[in-house]
Structure 1
Amino acid sequence: MSLTDFRSYAQVDLRLEPGVTVLVGSNGIGKTNLMEAVGYLATLSSHRVSADGPLLRFGTERALIRAKLVRGEQSTVLELEINSGRANRGRINRSNPVRARDLLGICHTVLFAPEDLALVKGDPSNRRRFLDELLVSLIPRHAATRSDYDRVLKQRNALLKSARAGKFTAGHEATLDVWDQHMARAGAELLHARLELVERLRPHLNNAYAQLTDGSKAADAAYRSTLQTLMDDDGAPAGVGGEPSADADQVEDLRLLSVDDLTDRYVRAFAASRRRELERGISLVGPHRDELELILGQAPAKGYASHGETWSMCLSLRLASYYVMLDDARTGGSAPILILDDVFAELDVQRRRKLAAIVSGAEQVLVTAAVEADIPEELAGRRVKVVPGGIDDPESR
């Protein structure tokens, strides 16, 4: 991998190999920047910031990530140009420039980081983002699904805000009907894909949690859709109070519905919630307001799990995504690169050893640590020293 003007690096080259590579260096030296670049190449997003601006070295207008990926006898060269003020661009095997999202699905990563605590303790947007990034990694065409939904949501919200400001007319009503149809279809496609993904994750989540702990509690996940707060058990509009009209066990199982069925449910839900949406000036129904509830034993993990249980649940979510990717790799996909960024310093000795034993057999593992003693013996492998502005590694010179 080669970086130009990415974060703290004017230029750095790092040769990576199969197996375990541990990057060691003091805090603030730039270890995470290297891992962030690998993750960005795979997902087109950072686990640390929501905008691209901070990824560019201060005072520069663009950053460049280059990487050569090898799978069996085949190698692929990826280049990703991150630009200030204009669209990012990519290249595959030095071809003509393409959209950045055309690179999705070529490099797969699973990144563990201290920020993962937000997956349990943070607001629902963190868990929705986790699902969507994994979804796009597995099925790159869903990058367009997300983009289409976000575009329609933005337009629909702008119209609702106009109504709240007193500028809503009969013409706006007809326009809102049109946006309802677009948003219903885009939302149904995203919801259907998320529901399928959660069903794939659930058994792996429980298995991973058992691997990391004594197995005394089961771990599970449940997808909570805003459709279920506005529909009764017959799939009809349930009023506009925002509460289900039936007991939780009687709420319609959305997993059994097709995209067309979900589209119809959304259209009816928009109609049921229109008055409230016009009053508040925002879209109240849709995947953008859904929740992935994480469950430990009989209780929600958020608010009930101890600190150690919270960490175990976060790690289990990442491991579950790793196992899902491995399932795909067995049918023609590629095994993901595992990235453990300053994770071991946050864990007790028992969890360190269990996590290390689980990931040590992965095809490629990248680990960062401020203190080499934090790395369990199970992760013996190559060590690379990170120094200000670069790395001290004879093999990468």
Structure 2
Amino acid sequence: MHVTHLSLADFRSYARAEVPLGPGVSTFIGPNGQGKTNLVEAVGYLATLGSHRVSSDTPLVRVGAERAVVRAAVTEGERSQLVELELNPGQANRARLNRSAQVRPREVLGVVRSVLFAPEDLDLVKGDPGGRRRFLDELVTARAPRLAGVRSDYDRVLRQRNTLLKSAAMARRHGGRGMDLTTLDVWDQHLARVGADLLAQRLGLLVALRPLVDKAYEQLAPGGGAVALEYRWSLGEEAGDGPEDVAVASREELSELLLAALAAARTREIERGVTLVGPHRDDVLVRLGELPARGYASHGESWSLALALRLASYGLLKDEGPEPVLVLDDVFAELDSRRRERLAELVAQGEQVLVTAAVAQDVPEMLVGARFAVADGRVERD
């Protein structure tokens, strides 16, 4: 799979941009703040319906514009498609596929597949659990786009349940009569059903990902130690002794575990007015050797671990379907010369590799291909 043309209108710093692309390596060179990352961010948005830099669409729309449009022509083998997303902050986004009638944005997931390396990836190792949950869920959806609907359903049920818990907490704090919590039982059932589906997908993903992460880390840092990924769940003692117990559980069993954990946590949840157990509270523990990477790994080790997670994602998607577009956003500037060369060796043969860098010298020589200069909102082929 590769993008043959990228078109932007009022996206980030670009009033308009038309960028012809092809297979192989394409490098965007320019000083910081000129819009290099905006280009590859647009590709990532088409693949995930989200940005790796911000959590809302508002910053993606150029100042003074009402909406932004991101469009890409994509080729996969003998098949070509045109995918378009219209970003409307505060309103529903719109999507089109092959200039046909409007479809739901999540229906275009899978047309563009990408794996993006960025400086923000260091948070996968050093940051809060939310970043690791997002990493899992985006990769789950890339493997099976239908899971976007499951994620959306889970978020909707969680919001409804939290609203009910908040009302119950406020009523209790103000000395009111106890609320009828029969409705909460219904939302517990919904949360357990959808949450079990999401949990099963995450656990299955980790099973496939573990050996690939360990292999990628060894390629980047030979002899640096074994890497392990452990799913840390929030279900409490009611669900068993450890993550191995749920790794082999069926969806029905996972649903029952979630229901038991919700029942056990209900008093605390009503006191705090928020859902305390479920996939939205889980985490992935990254270990290097016998120690958790967070808090113990050096800066160089953390970078190699983050890169290994992305390389493993790329390998998994490549093995299971169309090869994803590989994006390296200002990554080489963060690496020492040894890691630069090793990373370049591992990605140089990708079907399409998009690289951004402030100066050409940051990009290893083996990543030869098309070069674009980016400055003052213009993208020009060198």
Query: Whole-Å Cα distance in 1 between the matches of residues 177 and 301 of structure 2?
Result: 53
Deviations 1:209-249 (A, max 9, x none): 0000022301121111112x23264xxxxxxxxxxxx5x5x
Deviations 1:1-40 (A, max 9, x none): 1100000000110011100011000110000000100000
Q: How does 1:305-324 map to 2 (within 5 A)?
A: 305-324=297-316
1:290 corresponds to: 282
1:219 corresponds to: 227
1:5 corresponds to: 10
Deviations 1:167-216 (A, max 9, x none): 57665310111111111101111000100011111010000000000223
Alignment partner of 1:57: what SS? coil
2:41 corresponds to: 36
Alignment partner of 1:85: what SS? coil
Q: Is the 8 A contact 2:115 2:324 kept in 1?
A: yes
Identity of aligned pairs, percent?
Answer: 56
Deviations 1:279-315 (A, max 9, x none): 1111111000001111111111100000000000000
Query: Whole-Å Cα distance in 1 between the matches of residues 70 and 143 of structure 2?
Result: 22
1:79 corresponds to: 84
Q: Is the 8 A contact 1:360 1:378 kept in 2?
A: yes
Q: In the alignment, does 2:181 pair up with 1:173? A: yes
Instruction: Mark the runs of 5 or more structure 2 residues left unpaired by the alignment.
Output: 1-5
Query: Whole-Å Cα distance in 1 between the matches of residues 14 and 343 of structure 2?
Result: 30
Q: Is the 8 A contact 1:6 1:55 kept in 2?
A: yes
Deviations 1:43-89 (A, max 9, x none): 00000000000000001111111110011211001111111221111
Q: How does 1:1-397 map to 2 (within 5 A)?
A: 1-166=6-171, 172-227=180-235, 229-231=236-238, 233=240, 246=241, 253-329=245-321, 334-393=322-381
Alignment partner of 2:181: what SS? helix
Instruction: Mark the runs of 5 or more structure 1 residues left unpaired by the alignment.
Output: 234-245
Query: Whole-Å Cα distance in 2 between the matches of residues 215 and 296 of structure 1?
Result: 11
The one-letter code of the counterpart of 2:180 is H
Alignment partner of 2:182: what SS? helix
Query: Whole-Å Cα distance in 2 between the matches of residues 356 and 220 of structure 1?
Result: 24
Alignment partner of 1:172: what SS? coil
Deviations 1:114-172 (A, max 9, x none): 01111111100000000001111110111011111111111111111111112576653
Q: Is the 8 A contact 1:70 1:76 kept in 2?
A: yes
The one-letter code of the counterpart of 2:190 is H
Query: Whole-Å Cα distance in 1 between the matches of residues 161 and 319 of structure 2?
Result: 38
Q: Is the 8 A contact 1:159 1:172 kept in 2?
A: no
Aligned-residue offset at 1:338: 0.3
Query: Whole-Å Cα distance in 1 between the matches of residues 58 and 359 of structure 2?
Result: 30
Aligned-residue offset at 1:378: 1.6
The one-letter code of the counterpart of 1:272 is A
The one-letter code of the counterpart of 1:98 is V
1:243 corresponds to: none
Alignment partner of 2:238: what SS? coil
Query: Whole-Å Cα distance in 2 between the matches of residues 231 and 361 of structure 1?
Result: 48
The one-letter code of the counterpart of 1:44 is L
Query: Whole-Å Cα distance in 2 between the matches of residues 6 and 56 of structure 1?
Result: 5
2:3 corresponds to: none
Task: Choose 157-166 or 111-120, whichever is displaced more.
Answer: 157-166
Q: Is the 8 A contact 1:69 1:107 kept in 2?
A: yes
Alignment partner of 2:21: what SS? coil
Q: Is the 8 A contact 2:23 2:351 kept in 1?
A: yes
Alignment partner of 1:150: what SS? helix
Query: Whole-Å Cα distance in 1 between the matches of residues 284 and 224 of structure 2?
Result: 23
Root-mean-square deviation (CA), in Å?
1.3
The one-letter code of the counterpart of 2:258 is Y
Task: Choose 207-216 or 36-45, whichever is displaced more.
Answer: 207-216
Query: Whole-Å Cα distance in 2 between the matches of residues 179 and 172 of structure 1?
Result: 13
Deviations 1:309-352 (A, max 9, x none): 000000000001001101112xxxx1100000000000000000
The one-letter code of the counterpart of 1:363 is E
Q: Is the 8 A contact 1:232 1:252 kept in 2?
A: no
Aligned-residue offset at 1:277: 0.9
Q: Is the 8 A contact 1:223 1:290 kept in 2?
A: yes
Q: Is the 8 A contact 2:171 2:178 kept in 1?
A: no
Query: Whole-Å Cα distance in 2 between the matches of residues 7 and 232 of structure 1?
Result: 46
